[in-house]
Amino acid sequence: LGYLSSKQKGYIHALPQRRHSSIIRQSSMNHEFIDVSDEVRCALLEKKPIVTLESAIITHGMPHPTNVETAFQVQNIVRQNGATPATIAIVKGRIKVGIDDETLLHLGEVKENTYKTSYRDLPFVLSQKMNGGTTVSTTLAVSNSIGVPVMVTGGIGGVHRGGETTMDVSADLIELGCTPVGVVCSGAKSILDIERTLEYLETQGVLVATFGSNKDFPAFYSRKSGFSSPYNVKTTEEAAKLLDIMRHSELRSGIVIAVPVPESNSIPSDEMEDIIKNAVQEANQKGIKGKDITPYILSHVAKSTEGRSLSTNVALIQNNAAVGAKIAVDLSELCL
């Protein structure tokens, strides 16, 4: 502020505390489109720790009935660890924050007319009054709109293999770049180009930290990807401190807290590599494109590993829910 006159400086300091400044482009949604459940509303009013959860993993990421079983377990794990779960999904064109059990069962069972809703899909799904499973990108925007800085998922989308020519880069990375929310995940699947995904996150201003002392950015099924995270956080308190700074400094971008899958549930990366190569090749041969690629490869991998990848997927998201809830609790106890 050195170039301003003292009068101008005085004026700046007299400005009211700025929230969601128009200078910074943050993803945020008008509350008119959002219905908040009673449980989540109470938690918000009482400033209790809350964790938001995405729902594309329920509608498109996992087969039935594992998807609904896992979704219920994850909500309970968040509660057991002292936070309120807020599963975000779209029901008949309304964005729901916190969904009741019946709705969750329905979304997990009936796949027709249920859209995998990434950020760009929102106007369509809302205007057609459809149901939608929200990807990380959409869930981030909604989470920020209601002021919840912690979100939990299994894995984030990323730069796809061959993305340097196809330009298939998940909207998750773009939203992370303009939404100050911490995403607790197990890194990104090695169906993606992890090296370029990390580069892209750096460009977007997204801090990436592996949880624990392992340098590697985790590769979802495997604890190691062969690529280092720029940072580590050893405890949930340390992670909470990052999110606290993110909020109070009014940064534009989010943070990725990458939690390696528990050792006993991990699948070594060399074992996954062949399976993934086949899946990517088959997707290319069949001409699978765009938003259908991730779900296609996920189900192919689940079949090739005879369900082992699915139980790994369940284990890691359960673990992420516990870590995410603890971070939310620690964050609520911090005041800067």
Q: Which residues bind Mn ion (CB under 5 A)?
A: 168
108 counts as binding ligand PSU under rule CB under 6 A: no
291 is annotated as an active-site residue: no
54 counts as binding ligand PSU under rule CB under 6 A: yes
The catalytically annotated residue of 96, 116, 189, 224 is: 189
- Say if strands 94-97 and 34-36 run parallel, antiparallel, or are unpaired: parallel
Number of neighbours of residue 287 by Cβ within 10 angstroms: 7
The window from 23-31, 100-108, 150-158, 235-243 that contacts ligand PSU (CB under 6 A) reads: 150-158
Amino acid at 200: Y
Number of residues counted as binding ligand PSU (CB under 6 A): 18
Min separation Cβ 89 and ligand PSU, Å: 11
57 counts as binding ligand PSU under rule CB under 6 A: yes
Q: Which does 189 bind (CB under 5 to 8 A by kind): Mn ion, ligand PSU, none?
A: ligand PSU
324 counts as binding ligand PSU under rule CB under 6 A: no
Position among 86, 151, 171, 208 found at the interface with ligand PSU (CB under 6 A)? 171
323 counts as binding ligand PSU under rule CB under 6 A: no
Burial-class residue 15 by CB neighbours within 10 Å (0-12, 13-18, 19+).
Answer: exposed
189 is annotated as an active-site residue: yes
| Helix, strand, or coil (residue 259) | coil
Distance (Å, rounded) from C-alpha 27 to C-alpha 137? 10
Q: Which does 172 bind (CB under 5 to 8 A by kind): Mn ion, ligand PSU, none?
A: ligand PSU
210 counts as binding ligand PSU under rule CB under 6 A: no
Burial-class residue 29 by CB neighbours within 10 Å (0-12, 13-18, 19+).
Answer: middle
List, as one string, the DSSP characters of 3-51.
Answer: TS-HHHHHHHHHSPPPSS-SSS------GGGEEE-HHHHHHHHTT--EE
Please report which helix (H) or strand (E) contains residue 323, including its range: helix 308-333
193 counts as binding ligand PSU under rule CB under 6 A: no
115 counts as binding ligand PSU under rule CB under 6 A: no
Contacts 24+ apart (CB under 8 A), 71-75: 71/104, 71/108, 72/101, 72/104, 73/314, 73/318, 74/152, 74/317, 74/318, 74/321
Distance (Å, rounded) from C-alpha 137 to C-alpha 248? 22
Closest to 185 in 3D by CA, of 139, 154, 219: 154
Q: Which does 220 bind (CB under 5 to 8 A by kind): Mn ion, ligand PSU, none?
A: ligand PSU
For Mn ion, the closer of residues 217 and 296 by Cβ is: 296
Position among 84, 118, 225, 320 found at the interface with ligand PSU (CB under 6 A)? 118
Binding mask 275-314 for ligand PSU (x = CB under 6 A): ----------------x--x---x----------------
Non-local CB neighbours of 321 within 8 Å, separated by 6+ positions? 51, 53, 74, 77, 78, 81, 85, 152
The window from 34-42, 52-60, 144-152, 253-261 that contacts ligand PSU (CB under 6 A) reads: 52-60
Contact positions vs ligand PSU (CB under 6 A)? 54, 56-57, 61, 118, 135-136, 154-155, 157, 170-172, 189, 220, 291, 294, 298
What are the residue numbers of the active site? Answer: 54, 189
